[in-house]
Structure 1
Amino acid sequence: MSLESPERDFIVFGYGSLIFKPPPHVKAQTPGYLKGYVRRFAQKSHDHRGTPENPGRVVTLVHKEEWDKFSQSDAFPDDDVVWGIAYTIDPAYVAEVRDYLDYREKDGYTMETLDIHGIDDQGNDKIIIRNAYCYVGRDDNPSFIGSEPLEELSRTIWSSVGPSGPNKEYLYKLADSVRELSPDSFDSHLFALEELVKKYDEEEKLSLTSESS
């Protein structure tokens, strides 16, 4: 895909639920990745995958250098690529889609512009889209919770439920969707969380089976 002009097209990059639940009025979509960022479950969700009393966790983007400042014990120090999908919106519906996304991402996110990378036929990195819009949860917003131990984080995701459904459903859909983006797409932090939460599912299933027998 050639470089897009932000004056011609409204392009939004999805790295969380937008991957498996795209915005309306998409005329084109392109898998790609951001460089120099990490995707982490560092954002409290009071309105979708949790409640004000028991907030769930959803992903946000954090610049790798910023994340390193307050996450010295991160188990995945080498992650600095975030795979997702760049959606080009039909120009006739840009205002409608902007309003839709602003509401959907209202809990602690701000919009920024970032370059999207891809891999060419020779296997080399290149910028495929410049200045795509992206909703980023800044570390100075009230919903940003920062780094948590993986075991604690996975337990919160496993047990939390909100108006949009179980928090673990969000995790599972995101992990599956990232795997399907490209033969090169990966996210070691995401996949490690998925493995832990699925382990809790299996433990619960075995416990219920034992109780009923």
Structure 2
Amino acid sequence: MARNDSFWVFGYGSLIWRPGFEYRAARPARLYGAHRALCIYSHHYRGTPEKPGLVFGLVPGGSCNGMAFEVGCERHDEVLEYLRAREQVTSVYFEVQRTVRLDDGTRVTATSFVVNRAHHQFSGKLSLREQLRLVNNARGDAGTNRDYVLNTASHLEKLNIRDTYLYHLAQVLGDAQHKGKEAGQPEGVWEDSGG
């Protein structure tokens, strides 16, 4: 049940597995009206301007399963300041309040970040091939882009959250990494066969 002495934050990417703030409870939740997409060029955390990676954003349409974090109101300003510093490095997201449904059916209003589709880092819809090329070749201040995608997929799976496209992408990334090791390629290198 929603409490008056708390607020909620909805995570759909790395916030699921690395929130970075204290919370009272974490609950599986679904946000309606937007879906998770690998659609933002990362120039900081998972890539550089020269070799951009891709990170997740919420784009209009459908729904998104993720994690809702209940945070005590005494931490409101501290947590929002942290989230803004983390998510708004280049102002690619809009901070919004959206209704999410918790795993027990309770509806709460949660702070989340949706992509600004007019921002120059919004990739639009890329082919799987282009996503793989970017993800396999990018590294930023927080590590490799591949690790970000695989960690997100792994944590969603542990929560029994099915994201078919993300799991397919993760499977291809894992297969490419395994084949690269067998061929003696250094970790993190993925060859695009062209054609």
Alignment TM class, shorter chain as reference:
0.7 to 0.9
Displaced runs of 4 or more, over 2 A: none
Give the residue type in structure 1 aligned to 2:168: A
Residues 13-56 of structure 1 show CA distances to partners (whole Å, capped at 9, x for unaligned) of 00011001013121111111112322110011111000111110
SS of the equivalent of 2:184 reads helix
* 1:49-60 to 2 correspondences below 5 Å: 49-60=46-57
Matched, 1:40 2:37: yes
Aligned residue for 1:140? 118
Find the aligned partners of 1:135 and 1:81 in 2 and give their Cα distance.
14
In the TM superposition, what is the alpha-carbon distance from 1:98 to its structure 2 partner? 0.9
CA RMSD of aligned residues (A): 1.6
Aligned residue for 1:113? 97
Give the residue type in structure 1 aligned to 2:75: Y
In the TM superposition, what is the alpha-carbon distance from 1:91 to its structure 2 partner? 2.1
1:17 to 7, 14, 17: 14
Find the aligned partners of 2:164 and 2:141 in 1 and give their Cα distance.
28
* 1:1-213 to 2 correspondences below 5 Å: 2-4=1-3, 8-64=5-61, 80-106=62-88, 107=90, 108-120=92-104, 126=105, 128-182=106-160, 185-208=161-184
Contact conserved, 1:37 with 1:81, CA < 8 A, in 2?
A: yes
In the TM superposition, what is the alpha-carbon distance from 1:145 to its structure 2 partner? 0.8
Contact conserved, 1:11 with 1:88, CA < 8 A, in 2?
A: yes
Q: Which has the higher contact order (CA 8 A, sep 6+)?
A: 1
Find the aligned partners of 2:64 and 2:166 in 1 and give their Cα distance.
11
TM (normalized to structure 2)?
0.87
Aligned residue for 1:71? none
SS of the equivalent of 1:95 reads helix
Unaligned runs of 5+ in 2: 186-195
SS of the equivalent of 2:183 reads helix
Unaligned runs of 5+ in 1: 65-79, 121-125
What count of residue pairs does the alignment treat as equivalent? 183
Identity, % of aligned positions: 30
